[in-house]
Structure 1
Amino acid sequence: MSKVFTVADIKYLTDPTLKTWILQGHTNLGSKFQVIDVRDSDYVGGHIINSLHIESAKFKNDTTLETISGLLNRLREKDQDTVVFHCMLSQQRGPSSAMKFMRFLNERLENPTDSTELEFIKNMKVYVLLGGFGKWQQEYGEDPTLTENYAKDIWKYGY
């Protein structure tokens, strides 16, 4: 039987740590990583550089797991064994998308497509960005080395 992940299994990553990873091009352990932005209609005003946008609704409504399976395949192709999920505040959509992804990984551990997938999944690390994009843009929105397509006028009154 698979382990059932709970909220207690979610690890949080701080803005300064993600900033360091982005600037050095890898995690502190030397791993490649991918930021997953799961904002929906609020995906406006910029995004973390090189992040992948997959709306949370795709995670929530994906009964065939096509989106999640596709994400895993993409991460394997790019050898990115660390993922950082976030939404606007990382209080609901980011953590729930991370949870769904972790549960999918757990199912694949029991029935991997091949031995390299099994090894890749065993080494995966899943995080949620603490404070989400709302906090990120306050700190790093105007830094083009960290944030793409930043629209200052959208954020002038805060989130």
Structure 2
Amino acid sequence: MSERLTPGDPAPAFTLPDADGNEVSLADHKGRKVIVYFYPAALTPGCTKQACDFTDNLDLLTGAGYDVIGVSPDKPEKLAKFREQENLKVTLVGDPSKETLAAYGAFGEKKLYGKVVTGVIRSTIVVDEDGKVEHAFYNVKATGHVAKIIRDLGI
């Protein structure tokens, strides 16, 4: 089980393929705040709701100085289908090896329908302009989470 991040920790560096197969790195966003959210799987109801919520609020978030990156274990082809089917505007990257998910504490044991399973822990990490963790939210709900982040960040 991976360690959870806490405010003040350095955000683990990553470079992952986006829906078009282009590499996206956390370092590309230095000087801006980044909301990195981790979700179990593209094209599933909860993850679709969450991605649509981020897309619907993207102008507000970017206007407040935040970039948004969604990370799942999906391959770029599935992410592209997800983006097209749901008309998503957020940057989606795939982590099939689950190394980045684990580095952020977003992969491990969780309860699913009363059973303990190993998988993606729905999480959101807010990284500041200097690459440090500003907020770490774990075991978040897909619905209403974006509104809560906006409130918590005072946007």
| TM-score (structure 2 length as normaliser) | 0.29
**Which has the greater radius of gyration?**
1
